Structures are given as C-alpha cells and as structure tokens.
Structure 1
Amino acid sequence: MNFHGTEVREKALTLLRDGVSNREVARRTEVPPGTIGYWLHMDRAKRGECPGRGSFRPCPRCDGRELDQAAYAYLLGLYLGDGHISQHASVRAPSLAITCGEGWPGLMDECEAAMRTVFPDNSVCRVRRTGCRDVKVYSKHLYCLFPQHGHGRKHERPIALADWQREIVDAHPWELIRGLVHSDGCRNMNWTTRVVKGERKRYEYPRYWFTNVSDDIRQLYTDTLDRLGVEWKHCTRHGKPYNISVARRASVALMDAHIGPKH
C-alpha cells in the first residue's frame, strides 16, 4: 500500500476545494483516483457537508430521502462481510461491490434486491469473475451510507457503526445478522459420537458458523446475537479466534426462523 504525505494530501484538497475534478487532481498529484475521492469524502464530512454533493439523486443521509432500514441493515451485513467500495479513473461515482459465489444464485438475487431498494434511482449490475460475480451499484452517496469505508482491508482498520447506523441495527438486528451470515457464514451439519449402553453411536446436529478476520466485525456479530438471546461460542483454530459457532438447539432454531437459506 502506498502512503502519501501530508503535503501531497493538502495540495490535493486545495485543488479539490477550488473545483478541480478528482481525475485532474489525481493526474497532477500522481495519487490514485480512489484515494482522491476518499480524501474529498473525509474533508467534506469533517466540514459537515454532503460527500456526494453535486449528484442529482437525493441521499437518505444528506437530503432526507426515505431509506428502507431493513434492506439497508441486510446490505450493511453483506458489505461488512464480502463487500468493498472502489473508484476508478474512468467512472465519476464510486461503486459498491458484493462478491457472491456462483453456487449461490439466490444470494445474488437477494443482494441485488436489497441494492435496488436502498438505491432506487441507481442501476445495479452483475459482473462475472472467476468462480463468482460482483453485484454492483454506482452512487456518489456510497461514502455517506457506508462510513466504514477506508484505506486497506477491513481487518486492518477500526470498524465501528455510526450512531445513525446503530439505531437502524437496533431496530432491525436480524437483518444485519442475516447479511453477515449470508456473506461470511453458513449452516451445516456437524456430528459427534457418544457411547450409549456400551455402543458408540453417531449423532448429527445443525450448526451456524460465522468466520471473519476482523475483531470489530466479529464483536458486532456477537453483540447483536447477545441482544437477540442467541447463545454462541468462539471456536479457535490454529490459535486464531476467527470462527463463531451457534450450536445450541434453541439458538439454532431461532437462527433458522430468521436467517433463511443461503442458496
């Protein structure tokens, strides 16, 4: 990862405040357009301005457009799991991409439906990649709606919900859990053996797994499970506590009632 000094950043912000386009600022400073866009977003946010100003499409955060909170909570879970925001020099608006495996066509449909609900004025598309597809939407207001965006991978930087996001998650906790499980989780059958009357028998039982390298995202997942009354435990493997297990019968039944199949 390239790190740019304060002098370069201040020069870029000065040009941006003077109305120079992101692409031109990137050319003059030799800084990637995505980094320029992020600097502009952070600068506007610090000054209390809408990061997506200049867009003719209204923003739920900046313009008060109605936001489907349940769909947003689900999309937030997908973003925290398998999503990323990027910006290319040839495109004026950044894109949000949720990566879905080819084996999960139903997940792609649900992801696309959530995107269309949260961004009703924007086009949604699917981009084929090796073994998977990116479900994508382009919007200048992505930085407004997903303030967790930043430099580097999610597990390399702090991830915390803004106050307004916390209110949405508190109102729709199962939708966040559903998005997290659909992105970085699964439901499978586990098994164990027990000796009954001198005979060893095999028992199978369902279990939900959630795996994420980010400590903050795992904490968000388990804190939300706690509020929902779902019992869970850490499953450390090779010294790494990246796996969260839900295996208690009552808790699995509760997850089954709200998560739905990943297909």
Structure 2
Amino acid sequence: MNFHGTEVRQKAVTLLRNGTRNADVARKLNVPLGTVSYWKHMDRAKRGECPGRTPPPCPRCDGTLDSPAYAYLLGLYLGDGHIIKNRAMRSPSLSIACAEAHPGLMDECERAMRSVFPGNSVCKVRRKGCWEVKIYSMHLWCLFPQHGPGMKHERTIALEPWQQEIVDAHPWDFIRGLIHSDGCRITNWTTRLIGGERKRYEYPRYFFTNKSDDIRQLYTDTLDKLGIKWTHCTRNGNPYNISVARKASVALLDAHVGPKH
C-alpha cells in the first residue's frame, strides 16, 4: 500500500482549491483518483462546505435550464449516451462516448454538461478506443426521462412536451447533438459522362445512423421543420441510415453543424 505524505496532500489540496480537476491532480501527483477525491471531500468538510449534504438544485424544476445546451446534450444522449446507477455511488451518472479522433467533440460535450449542470463536476474516463465524458447528478432522471432498462432501440423513445418545446425552439442544437453522436459528413463520388468522356464527380453528404426507429423519426421530423431534404439509405435490408445529399441542404448543415473534429 502506498502512503502519501503531508507535503503531497497539501499540494493536491492547493491545486484542488485553485479549480484543478480531481483527475488532473491525480495524474500530476501520481496519486489514486479515489485518494484525491477523499482529500477534496475532507478539505471542504473542514471548511464547512460539506459536499453532498446540499445537492445542487434541479436545472429544470428550478427554472435555470440552459435550453440550447440542453437540446445539444439531449441529441448526444439519444445517440451515444447512457445513464447508470452504480451501487458504490450515491448519484446516477450520465456518460457520453466520444471517439479519440474527435477531441473537439469531447470539449463541446463537456461545455454542454457544465452549462446544463453548473453545480456539478464533469470528468473524462478513458475507455478502449474512446473517452467517456461523465457527470453525476441526482437530477438526471428528471432531465432525461427517456432512460430505461435495455437498449434504446428496444424500447419506445418519445420526447416529453417540455422537451419538444425546447427542441422546437433550438432545432439546430438538437440536430448538432444527434449528428455529433451518430452522424458524419463524408465526401461521396460518382462518375458522369461529360462531352463523351466519363469524369469523376465528388459531392459532400451527411449520414445519420441509428437502430431506433423513434430516434430516427425525431431526427427526420426536425429536419423537415428546418426544410432539410433527406432520404432513407437502406443497406443490407436495414433502414438505419438517413442521408442528406442535396446541395442546398448540405450547405445548411455545413453552416449549422459541420464535420466532427
């Protein structure tokens, strides 16, 4: 067992008081994350803050919800998010899986979480081939009523009236969240006969892929409201892909969404 002296502990507490995240302190000082969390808890309790006894207010119920950030986070959750309740933790956690190839997406996801849950901390957990951007909150059930047992495509996914109002008010943020989770922008190509000569022709295209009929419907309904032309792109008999390839519609998505980065 490794024991950490007073000097290391004081360095950690100083960093934590200056706003450094627990995970960053743990890496910097080569101390287990759980130890850093315990030191932070004891330091705050000593100063009378007592973390956990007065939980942050619910962003929705208390009328402080950042609607654009929530619409984006809702899109991410419906695509690559999940909520779990670990027995070892008092609060449930929301995790959004982000590929290592898209650090900008991780940053946007973290900003959205901090905007929706300003009183909570956000952390990143390394997984094989990806990172999980994660937040703990007792109010996750209230903010994401679509949570339930099993895979999303195996159960009904429908927005509550208050969620639909937010999506209607901020449709582009919702679309960005969905595409950033389960979509992509690619360059397709084909050949055309021009002046008797066959030439290669390239054009950009957006795809959104999700097994849930309900989530795809939420996506296409929102596209319709925005005037975006889309088509089903069935592959191997599976209608899981939604394609946007018309020039004007792609230009709109480029202006409001853009490729992942």
Unaligned runs of 5+ in 1: 1-53
1:4 corresponding residue in structure 2: none
- Computing the radius of gyration over CA atoms, which structure comes out larger, 1 or 2? 2
Matches within 5 A, 1:164-203: 164-203=162-201
Q: In structure 1, give the amino acid aligned to 2:226.
A: L
Give the match's secondary structure for 1:147.
Answer: coil
SS state at 2:249 partner: helix
Runs of 4+ in 1 over 4 A off after TM superposition: none
CA distance, structure 1, for counterparts of residue 118 and residue 252 of structure 2: 32
Q: Structure 1 counterpart of 2:167, which letter?
A: V
* Structure 2: gaps spanning 5 or more residues: 1-52
- Residue 41 of structure 2 is matched in structure 1 by none
Q: What count of residue pairs does the alignment treat as equivalent? A: 209
The alignment-based identity, stated in percent, is 73
- Whole-angstrom CA distance in 2 between matches of 1:150 and 1:118: 21
Counterpart of 2:229 (choices 205, 228, 231) is: 231
Partner of 1:56: 55
1:80–1:180 CA contact under 8 A, matched in 2 = yes
DSSP-derived class of the 1:159 partner = coil
| Preserved contact between residue 127 and residue 135 of structure 1 (Cα < 8 Å) | yes
| Deviation readout 1:238-258 (Å, 9 max, x if unpaired) | 100000000000000010110
Matches within 5 A, 1:55-134: 56-62=55-61, 64-134=62-132
Match of 1:16 in 2: none
The one of 146, 157, 160 equivalent to 1:159 is 157
**Cα gap change, 1:244 to 1:55, in 2 (>3 Å):** farther
- Cα distance, 1:55 vs. partner? 5.9
Deviations along 1:68-97, one digit per CA (max 9) or x if unpaired, are 100000000000000000011100000000
- SS of aligned partner of 1:93: coil
Structure 1 stretch displaced more, 138-147 or 196-205: 196-205
Partner of 1:143: 141
Deviations 1:154-202 (A, max 9, x none): 0000000000000000000000000000000000100010111211111
Q: Residue in 1 aligned with 2:14?
A: none
Q: Distance in 2 between matches of 1:89 and 1:194?
A: 60
The 1-side partners of 2:64 and 2:167 are apart by 16
Q: Residue 218 of structure 1: which of 216, 219, 225 is its match?
A: 216
Q: Structure 1: how far apart are the matches of 2:132 and 2:244?
A: 29
Coordinate RMSD, CA, aligned? 1.0
Matched residue type, 1:214: S
Separation of aligned partners in 1, 2:145 and 2:68: 18
Question: How far apart are the structure 2 equivalents of 1:205 and 1:166?
Answer: 33
Preserved contact between residue 112 and residue 135 of structure 1 (Cα < 8 Å): yes
For residues 120 and 86 of structure 1, what CA distance do their matches in structure 2 show? 20
Asked if the contact 2:185/2:258 (under 8 Å) is kept, the reply is no
- State whether residues 209 and 241 of structure 2, in contact with CA within 8 Å, keep that contact through their aligned partners in structure 1: yes
Alignment match, 1:29 = none
Is the 1:187–1:207 Cα contact (8 Å) retained in structure 2?
yes
Give yes or no for contact 2:59–2:117 (8 Å, CA) kept in 1.
no
User: How has the CA–CA distance of structure 1 residues 149 and 83 changed in structure 2, closer, same or farther, with 3 Å as cutoff?
Assistant: same
| Partner Cα distance (2:202, 2:60) in 1 | 47
Task: Give the conservation status (yes or no) of the 8 Å contact 1:127–1:136.
Answer: yes
